[in-house]
Amino acid sequence: MANNARLYLDKYFKIAKTDHRIFGSFIEHLGRAVYSGIYEPGHPQADAHGFRKDVMELIKELAVPIIRYPGGNFVSGYNWEDGIGPVEQRPTRLELAWRSIETNDFGLNEFMSWTQRVGAAPMLAINLGTRGIDAARNLIEYTNHPGGSYWSDLRKQHGYDEPYKIRTWCLGNEMDGPWQIGHKTAEEYGRLAAETAKAMRQVDPDIELVVCGSSHDQMPTFAEWEATVLSHTYDYVDYISLHKYLGNRDNNLANYLAETDRVEEFIKAVIAICDYVKARKRSKKTLYLSFDEWNVWYHSNAQDQKVKPWSKAPRLLEDVYTFEDALVVGLFLITLFKHADRVRIACLAQLVNVIAPIMTSPGGGAWKQTIYYPYYHASRYGRGTVLRPELISPVYHTDQHQGVNFIEAIGVLSEDEREITLFAVNRSQDSPMELECTLNNLGDLELIEHIVLEHQDIKATNTEEDPDNVKPHNQGRTTVKGHRALAELPALSWNVVRLRVIR
């Protein structure tokens, strides 16, 4: 096996500018995401609103630009009105999606105050499971209308004088899934989504809307669902959603690391369907993709079966991530970068405690899971223009995947064009590899740093007791000569090679 891969980039060969919102995330009323995650009155780190400052600091460090809320499956049974007004008057409900107790101590206005503190934009999902047009138009009147109407004046009465002007809205969640409260056929959902979109735009024409695609690409209705739903909604929406969770269920690392190749096929298929509907409608409009749930999710599945129903903030979906999961998250991010021309929004699902990069203990600390790091690096150094890669890598084959690149890599030129960052994963389990990079039309380059996430133990985790077991160092070996860089990529590693453009 040759141990070298080659990457050719050119300043003038561009995929697209990254929309910052591809570094988005998600907070659902699920398990301990909200209660004892971002919100824990009485915690030593809680501010006057009960928001955990230690958690807010970690989120600010990630520079999360947009956060989807309040679900997820939760939203399909949610009455948004339960979460507004005086807290002591809010009802406690049976929450059917996760079979928990929802006290509604935290609701819309608390979420909006919290997003303002962490510097993120909201992405609000509406309930198209048990509810529909009427609840949606009232909600957007409450959030976005300046005043002089029942719902906007109620917002003012609740102490929020200015409209929030929430721009990005999801028309329900995973409505193709039989597990969804109020599950619908593509015809039923497509019609409802179109009419709801029209009503919401009547209240605020400046919003943008995400219609539900399939819950994942293995759904029996995948592709037909997208085509039917878009045939009803194409003119009224801006994005279609994709969701995908990966897992190493068979403990086969070679297969697991190759799973992101399927994610790429999924993205290409959804783009093709959008463009098919565009052609059929003779439309001038291009539809974009909102990959608004993606991550690794499988570690907690068995444990979750044992959780007794009807408790408040139970420990659900608390995946403890391994080092190999961090590599998969890195590969997923590279896949999203490759499609920056069509994927405009993406949400790592989720943000705190529930399949999350950040974990907390009630009354205790907050720490970074292994997957925090690739997400952090992408968000920090991946803003700019994604360059179209010509990548030549040796490949491997498994029982499930053919022609898998040992090396995956992408380059992002910073907005001021003074830096170029290469993100690369070496999937090889036994060989370090060299990545020879030729970077044309950028002038001479020098190395800022080569960050590496690597670990002897692929199953290594970070815990409250040992939060720094898996963490990156910046002693990676890259040599630069003129417009060429030679990066050594250790076996099984995530690499961030930061290069400065010398004028």
- Applying CB under 6 A, which residues contact ligand AHR? 28, 71-73, 173-174, 215, 293, 349-350
Check: CB of residue 321 under 8 Å from CB of residue 369.
Answer: yes
Min CB(313)–ligand AHR separation in Å: 15
Check: CB of residue 285 under 8 Å from CB of residue 236.
Answer: no
- Strand intervals (E) in 28-148: 66-69, 93-95, 100-102, 121-125
Min CB(350)–ligand AHR separation in Å: 6
| Comparison of 72 and 129: residue with beta carbon closer to ligand AHR | 72
| Comparison of 138 and 215: residue with beta carbon closer to ligand AHR | 215
Min CB(243)–ligand AHR separation in Å: 6
Query: Rounded to an integer, what distance in angstroms lies between the CA atom of residue 41 and that of residue 38?
Result: 10
How far the first Cα of the chain sits from its last, in Å, is: 38
Min CB(317)–ligand AHR separation in Å: 6
| Comparison of 243 and 339: residue with beta carbon closer to ligand AHR | 243
| Comparison of 17 and 315: residue with beta carbon closer to ligand AHR | 315
Q: Which residues pair with 39 in a beta bridge?
A: 35, 51
Tokens of 152: 């906007």
| Comparison of 102 and 141: residue with beta carbon closer to ligand AHR | 102
Query: Rounded to an integer, what distance in angstroms lies between the CA atom of residue 349 and that of residue 359?
Result: 13
Please report the DSSP string for 286-341 in residue order. PPEEEEEEEEE--TTHHHHHTPPSS-BS---S----BHHHHHHHHHHHHHHHHTTT
Min CB(349)–ligand AHR separation in Å: 4
Task: Name which of 347, 333, 290, 297 is nearest 26 in CA terms.
Answer: 347
Residues taking part in catalysis: 174, 293
Min CB(71)–ligand AHR separation in Å: 5
| Comparison of 73 and 462: residue with beta carbon closer to ligand AHR | 73
Min CB(59)–ligand AHR separation in Å: 17
Check: CB of residue 323 under 8 Å from CB of residue 270.
Answer: no
CB atoms within 10 A of CB 402: 11
DSSP class of 19: P
Query: Rounded to an integer, what distance in angstroms lies between the CA atom of residue 55 and that of residue 361?
Result: 11
- Would you mind telling me the total number of residues written for the chain in this entry? 503
Measured CA to CA in angstroms, residue 283 lies from 32, 193, 235 at distances of 44, 19, 8
| Comparison of 102 and 204: residue with beta carbon closer to ligand AHR | 102
Helix (H, G, I), strand (E, B) or coil at 204: coil
Min CB(183)–ligand AHR separation in Å: 12
Helix (H, G, I), strand (E, B) or coil at 189: helix
Query: Rounded to an integer, what distance in angstroms lies between the CA atom of residue 232 and that of residue 84?
Result: 33
**Helix and strand tally (H, E) in the chain?**
10, 25
Min CB(164)–ligand AHR separation in Å: 23
| Comparison of 75 and 489: residue with beta carbon closer to ligand AHR | 75
Q: Which residue is nearest to ligand AHR (CB)?
A: 72
Check: CB of residue 116 under 8 Å from CB of residue 108.
Answer: no
Q: Which residues pair with 258 in a beta bridge?
A: none
Query: Rounded to an integer, what distance in angstroms lies between the CA atom of residue 428 and that of residue 426?
Result: 6
Query: Rounded to an integer, what distance in angstroms lies between the CA atom of residue 435 and that of residue 444?
Result: 18
Angle at the Cα of 238 from the Cα atoms of 236 and 264, rounded to 5 degrees = 135
